Amino acid sequence: MKAPPRLQALVEEGLIDTVVRQLMSGKEAMVYVVRRGDHTLCAKIYKEATNRSFRQAVDYTENRKVKNSRQARAMAKGSKFGREAQEAAWQSAEVDALYKLADAGVRVPRPYNFFEGVLLMELVTDAAGDAAPRLNDVVFSAEDARRHHASLLAEVVRMLCAGTVHGDLSEFNILLAADGPVIIDLPQAVDAAGNNHAQRMLLRDVLNLRDFFGQFAPELLHTDFGPEMWELYQRGLLSTEVTLTGHYQRKTGAVDMGSVLREIDDARAEDAARRLRMQQSG
């Protein structure tokens, strides 16, 4: 196919040779299958994000480092330059997270280059060599659901040991490759130690995995891996060798109503986003 304008620059730079086809289009990015020599890759073209709420942006970008004070001031003021700088920071956050997590052994697409707002990375494929499906497009046996749930929990632990929380993990941004699940879409990834919302995001990520795979293996709905994982992380005891039990005894004490209401609001927003994604994928 004819290269879209955003990809033509990569052709001219010799980063890719041809564009094969469009793979998907979402509210934040369009993804194409491209060729470079004998290799088939994936090109993610970021759109200007207009659908993220201000509160979500604040939550995810808390404590993210900005390269210079001018950008930081502009981002704080919300000027046109500031919005452009914020969008560039959002995109580069995914690139940085992919390199970091791939080096840590997390199952994510390996990144190759980032040029003019386009991320070149590994194309995740199924056993037939075709683009791998998302989890939400697959029906699992109870045995496979338990196996994939366990492997993804191990990936979440590996990410947390690398100091990162995905922040939006669900069946919509995990691909089922020939050799197991691969985690994608990381522009909202947060620093586990530096972001005050990291715990809440981790617990939500783990709950999303539980609720999805629990459709196929109902016993998973009675597990509680998130709080156990986070407590071990806070105590400096979490490692990729730790065996999680899935059981957690919550401590009793005063209830923080502000946090409870915030959790309710987040659950509603997540449910609305999930329904929208299901409509778009249907």
- DSSP assignment of 169-203 equals -SGGGEEEETTEEEE---TT-EETTT-TTHHHHHH
Would the pLDDT of 168 be above 50?
A: yes
Would the pLDDT of 123 be above 60?
A: yes
What confidence tier does 27 reach under pLDDT thresholds 50, 70, 90?
confident
User: Tens of pLDDT along 6-17?
Assistant: 999 999 999 999
CATH number at residue 39: 1.10.510
pLDDT value for 275: 61
Would the pLDDT of 53 be above 50?
A: no
Would the pLDDT of 154 be above 50?
A: yes
Mean pLDDT, residues 192-201 taken together: 93
Q: Identify the domain containing residue 230 by its residue range.
A: 5-281
pLDDT value for 28: 79
**Catalytic annotation, residues:** 168, 185
Q: Contact at 8 Å (CB) between 182 and 132?
A: yes
Would the pLDDT of 73 be above 50?
A: no
Domains: count for the chain: 1
String of DSSP letters for 240-265: TT----S---PPP----HHHHHHHHH
- What gap in Å lies between CA 148 and CA 6, rounded to an integer? 36
Which one has a higher pLDDT value, 182 or 278? Answer: 182
- Region for residue 276 given its phi and psi (left: phi exceeds 0; alpha: psi -120 to 50; beta: otherwise): alpha
What confidence tier does 75 reach under pLDDT thresholds 50, 70, 90?
very low
Q: How many CB atoms lie within 10 A of CB 6?
A: 17
Mean predicted lDDT score pLDDT of the chain: 84
pLDDT value for 66: 45
pLDDT value for 79: 52
Asked which of 36-40, 50-54, 178-182, 262-266 is least confident by mean pLDDT, the reply is 50-54
Instruction: List CB contacts of 19: < 8 A, sequence separation 6 or more.
Output: 1, 2, 3, 4, 7, 11, 32, 33, 34, 35, 43
User: Tens of pLDDT along 206-247?
Assistant: 999 999 999 999 999 999 999 999 999 999 999 999 999 998
